[in-house]
Amino acid sequence: MSASSSAPARDRLRIAIQKSGRLADPARSLLAACGLSWRQSRDKLFCFGESLPVDLLLVRDDDIPGLIADGVCDLGVVGLNELDEQAKARRQQGLPDAYQPLRGLGFGQCRLMIAVPEDWDWQGVAQLSGKRIATSYPAILAAWLRDKGVDAQVVELSGSVEIAPKLGTADLICDLVSSGATLAANQLRPVETLLDSEAVLAGPVHELDDARAGLMAMLLRRLDGLSRVQDRKLLMFSAAEERVDALARLLPDAEPLLRLPGNGTSVRLQTMCNGALSWQRLEELERAGAQGLMVLAVEKSLA
């Protein structure tokens, strides 16, 4: 039986995103790139979908997994760190799984790491035994310590974790790191990674069984289309027939060259390339006989 079968059927999809913070703008931009647009409501917590029946709920990131678990929202954009923490906490309480990451979104990258005072002579995880570790991720940390067979004390803090060793409330910390500047500023050194995180689109563990299922499938397909074309470039040029093989050899990382009808003396060619095509590379192709080189960014794709 699906989880939603007891709930009234809904024909609008509801997505929770962060109201403000690191993931707020990229989440909105990504959904807009999927063709969604909204009428902003006055309280700015609920945005009514205009182009499609897909509404947005603007909330704190910590609330997103719970909103999906309760069926208030169907999808959410949230850090894998937050989703994993709440999933593990549910499991530790004996509750069933209620959400899952559906797609990695390629932004909000960071790592959940153990960091120790810089003056420690780091020998390995056994050194954590008997120590107090400050973190906002107690469930992930507890599971990791159990997995490593280390008996340490988890000190749960909701913020300012980096300052805990200086304040004497903990010996070391377990926190998110991106550039590493915050750790360095607090004389801490990252030594172990517990989780590589990024923003994910999270959804329920059970499939929806009303009109929302089609909307969700469409959204996922569009997201996949966007990630497929990310960093892809369409390269177009012309060349004399006898130069084509040499030019193809200069493009080993591209798809096979596609021939289009030319003007008799030359062939028109196109191919998809991954990553940036530098000026240097284009000049090299030109020297090998390519004419009228053109690089076009790919915006959308359906497979």
Among ligand PRT, Zn ion, none, residue 4 binds (CB under 5-8 Å by kind): none
Structure tokens at 30: 């990504």
Among 56-64, 146-154, 164-172, 204-212, the segment contacting Zn ion (CB under 5 A)? 56-64
Regarding 55 and contact with Zn ion (CB under 5 A), the answer is no
Residue 61 CB, nearest distance to ligand PRT (Å)? 4
Regarding 156 and contact with ligand PRT (CB under 6 A), the answer is no
Residue 63 CB, nearest distance to Zn ion (Å)? 8
Among 67-75, 175-183, 218-226, 246-254, the segment contacting ligand PRT (CB under 6 A)? 175-183
Regarding 104 and contact with ligand PRT (CB under 6 A), the answer is no
Q: Which of 62, 192, 210, 286 binds Zn ion (CB under 5 A)?
A: 62
CB distance 102 to 203 below 8 Å: yes
Bridge partners, residue 289, by sequence: none
In angstroms, how far is CA 176 from the centroid of its own chain? 15
Sign of CA dihedral 104, 109, 115, 119: positive
Regarding 62 and contact with ligand PRT (CB under 6 A), the answer is yes
CB distance 104 to 87 below 8 Å: no
Q: Identify which of 66, 56, 98, 71 has the alpha carbon closest to the alpha carbon of residue 10.
A: 71
Residue 28 CB, nearest distance to ligand PRT (Å)? 14
Structure tokens at 3: 């989880």
Instruction: Tell me the C-alpha distance between 122 and 133, whole Å.
Output: 15
Q: Which of 127, 182, 270, 301 binds ligand PRT (CB under 6 A)?
A: 182
Q: Which of 6, 93, 123, 179 binds ligand PRT (CB under 6 A)?
A: 179
Regarding 22 and contact with Zn ion (CB under 5 A), the answer is no
Q: Which helix (H) or strand (E) holds 212?
A: helix 211-229
Q: Identify which of 71, 70, 44 has the alpha carbon closest to the alpha carbon of residue 57.
A: 44
Q: Which residues bind ligand PRT (CB under 6 A)?
A: 18, 21-23, 60-62, 79, 81-82, 108, 110, 175-182, 197
